[in-house]
Amino acid sequence: MAYKIIAEQCTGCGACEFECPSKAIKEKNGVFAINAEKCTECEGSFDTPQCASVCPVDDTCVPV
C-alpha cells in the first residue's frame, strides 16, 4: 500500500517533501506527487505517515 496526494487539493507548500523518509515525494508542475513504488507509509521510521501529518489541507495525502 502507498499514499497519494490529491493534486486538486495540493497547495504546493512543500511541507511533505522534506518529511518523507523514503524520498518518495517530488514536485511536478507546482504540486507534489508520491511515487507509490518508493512509499513505505513511513513504516519503520514513524508511527504515522508524515505526509498526512504535516499537510495543512485535510484529506489531501491519503492511502491508495
21-52 pLDDT, tens digit per residue, is 999 999 988 889 999 999 999 999 999 999 99
CATH code where residue 20 lies: 3.30.70.20
User: Residue holding cell 500500500?
Assistant: 1
Across residues 49-57, what is the average pLDDT?
97
Gyration radius from the chain CA atoms: 10
Structural domain harbouring 48: 3-63
Q: Is 10 exposed, middle or buried (0-12, 13-18, 19+ CB in 10 A)?
A: buried
Q: pTM for the whole thing?
A: 0.91
Task: Look at the chain and report how many structural domains it folds into.
Answer: 1
Q: What is the DSSP letter of 19?
A: H
Q: Give the pLDDT band of residue 2 (cuts 50, 70, 90).
A: very high
